[in-house]
C-alpha cells in the first residue's frame, strides 16, 4: 500500500549517535540543541524571530495571546483544518466565527472573512491547508485596513512560499508543527515565528511559566502567566539532524505535486486546485476534487494506493454546535475533496502508476 502519510527520519547511522550523545549529556531540557535548532529554522524560513516549542498547538496558544485575544473576543477561522487550529481558540474562551472557503481550493475566503469583521474581531486565523497558501494579498490588505492581526497556521506549509519568500518569514505571526505526520518531524514540536524582538522576548518567557531564563531563578518575577511549552534538547537534536535533509525532503513533495498538477489536468471527473496568486504550495498532501469520491477512493485502494479526505470539518464537532453558520462553499468542497500520496516516499514510478490508475477511470 502506498500510504498518504509517512514520517521521514534520517538513517539510524546518522540519527542514533546524535541522540545517544544528547541523551547521556547530562542536559536534556531546553538548552544549546534547542537554540541551534531555532537558528537552523530561522535561516530556513528567513525570519530571525523564531521560538521552538513542544508543539504547534502551544505555538497557536501563544500566537493568540500575543494577538491579545481574550475571553469573549471573536476570532475568524476556518473549519477546513485539523482540530488544534480551533480548539486553541476555544481553549482561551474566545468565540470562533467560521469563515467560508474558496470553492476552488478549500482555503479561507477573504471575501467571506471581510463580511464577518466587526468591533469584536480580535484576530483572523488562516490555515495554509495541505501546503497550499491562502490569498495573502487579500488577507494582508484586510489586516491593514481593519488593524486586525493575522495568525498563519502553517502546520502543513513548511517550505511553501508567498511572493517568492518562505511562509513564516515575518510578515505575520506564523506557527509550524513538527508532529509525527508533518513534512518534518521532531516526534513532537513546533515553531512560533513572530514579527519583532519584543514579541520574541515576551513569548520566550511565556514558554517557561513566565520566567526569564536569562536571569537567576531567585531574581525572577513572573509578571505574566506563562506555560510549559519549551522544546527540549532531545526533540531539538532530532530536528537538527532533520534540518540537514530538509531541502531534499521538501523538494520531493514539491516535485511530486507539480508532476500531478501537470499529469492530472483535463481528466474527466477531476478538478485540480486553483492556487492563489503569488503563492507556491509545498504539497504536504496532494489535494483534488473528484466526482463519485467513494468510488475513486475504492478504486485506488483496490490498487494499493491510499486516498482519503483525512480531515474532519471542524464546525460539526459537538463542542462547536452553538457556533454553527451556513457555509455553502464548505459544504460543496467537503463532499468532493480528496488527497492522494505525494510525499518523499512516492517515487517517480509510484506517481506515474497513480496517474495511470486515475486515467483509467473509477
Please give the residue ranges that form the binding site for ligand PLP (CB under 6 A). Answer: 55-57, 81-82, 84-85, 127, 153, 155-156, 177, 179, 190
Closest to 134 (Cα-Cα) out of 163, 116, 109, 165: 109
Q: Is the Cβ of residue 67 or residue 357 nearer to ligand PLP in the bound state? A: 67
153 neighbors 125 (Cβ within 8 angstroms): yes
Distance between the two ends of the chain, CA-based, in angstroms?
A: 18
As measured in angstroms, the least distance from the Cβ of 181 to ligand PLP is 7
Task: Give me the least distance between CB of 324 and ligand PLP, in Å please.
Answer: 21
Nearest CB to ligand PLP, comparing residues 171 and 174: 174
Min CB(85)–ligand PLP separation in Å: 5
Compute the least distance from the CB of residue 153 to ligand PLP, in Å. Answer: 5
Q: In the bound complex, what is the minimum distance in angstroms from residue 41's beta carbon to ligand PLP? A: 14
State how far the Cα of 302 lies from the Cα of 305, in Å rounded to an integer: 7
Residues 232, 238, 341: CA angle, nearest 5 degrees: 125
* Largest pairwise CA distance in the chain: 70
Q: What is the DSSP string of 289-350?
A: EESSHHHHHHHHHHTTB--B--PPPGGGSGGGGGG----HHHHHHHHHEEEE--STT--HHH
Q: Which is nearer to ligand PLP, 45 or 357 (CB)?
A: 45
Residue 56 or 343: the one with the smaller Cβ distance to ligand PLP is 56
> What would the grid cell of residue 321 be?
454546535
CB 22 within 8 A of CB 237: yes
CB of 338 or CB of 354, closer to ligand PLP = 338
Closer to ligand PLP by Cβ: residue 220 or 317: 317
Return the residue nearest ligand PLP (CB atom): 56
Amino acid at each position: 500500500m502506498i500510504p498518504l502519510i509517512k514520517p521521514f527520519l534520517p538513517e539510524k547511522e546518522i540519527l542514533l549517535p546524535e541522540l545517544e550523545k544528547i541523551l547521556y549529556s547530562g542536559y536534556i531540557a531546553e538548552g544549546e540543541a534547542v537554540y541551534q535548532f531555532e537558528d537552523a529554522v530561522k535561516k530556513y524560513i528567513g525570519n530571525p524571530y523564531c521560538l521552538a516549542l513542544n508543539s504547534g498547538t502551544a505555538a497557536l496558544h501563544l500566537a493568540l495571546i500575543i494577538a491579545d485575544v481574550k475571553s469573549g473576543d471573536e476570532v475568524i477561522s476556518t473549519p477546513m483544518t485539523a482540530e488544534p487550529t480551533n480548539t486553541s481558540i476555544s481553549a482561551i474562551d474566545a468565540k470562533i466565527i467560521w469563515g467560508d472557503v474558496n470553492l476552488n481550493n478549500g482555503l479561507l475566503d477573504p471575501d467571506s472573512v471581510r463580511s464577518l469583521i466587526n468591533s469584536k474581531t480580535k484576530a483572523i486565523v488562516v490555515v495554509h491547508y495541505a501546503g497550499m497558501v491562502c490569498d495573502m494579498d487579500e488577507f494582508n490588505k484586510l489586516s491593514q485596513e481593519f488593524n486586525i492581526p493575522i495568525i498563519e497556521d502553517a502546520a502543513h506549509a513548511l517550505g511553501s512560499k508567498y511572493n517568492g519568500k518562505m511562509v513564516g518569514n515575518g510578515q505575520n505571526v506564523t506557527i509550524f508543527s513538527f508532529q509525527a505526520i508533518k513534512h518534518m518531524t521532531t516526534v513532537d514540536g513546533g515553531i512560533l515565528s513572530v514579527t519583532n524582538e519584543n514579541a520574541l522576548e515576551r513569548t520566550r518567557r511565556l514558554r517557561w511559566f513566565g520566567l526569564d531564563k536569562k536571569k537567576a531563578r531567585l531574581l525572577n518575577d513572573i509578571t505574566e502567566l506563562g506555560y510549559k511549552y519549551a522544546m527540549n534538547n532531545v526533540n531539538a537534536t532530532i530536528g537538527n539532524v532533520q534540518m540537514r535533509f530538509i531541502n531534499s525532503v521538501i523538494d520531493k513533495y514539491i516535485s511530486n505535486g507539480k508532476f500531478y498538477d501537470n499529469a492530472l489536468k483535463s481528466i474527466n471527473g477531476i478538478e485540480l486546485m486553483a492556487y492563489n496568486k503569488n503563492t507556491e504550495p509545498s504539497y504536504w498532501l496532494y489535494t483534488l476534487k473528484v466526482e463519485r469520491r467513494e468510488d475513486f477512493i475504492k478504486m485506488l485502494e483496490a490498487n494499493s494506493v491510499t486516498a482519503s479526505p483525512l480531515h474532519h470539518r471542524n464546525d460539526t464537532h459537538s463542542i462547536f454546535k452553538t457556533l454553527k453558520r451556513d457555509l455553502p462553499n464548505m459544504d460543496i468542497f467537503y463532499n468532493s475533496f480528496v488527497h492522494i500520496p505525494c510525499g518523499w516516499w512516492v517515487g517517480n514510478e509510484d506517481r506515474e502508476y497513480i496517474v495511470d490508475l486515475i486515467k483509467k477511470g473509477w
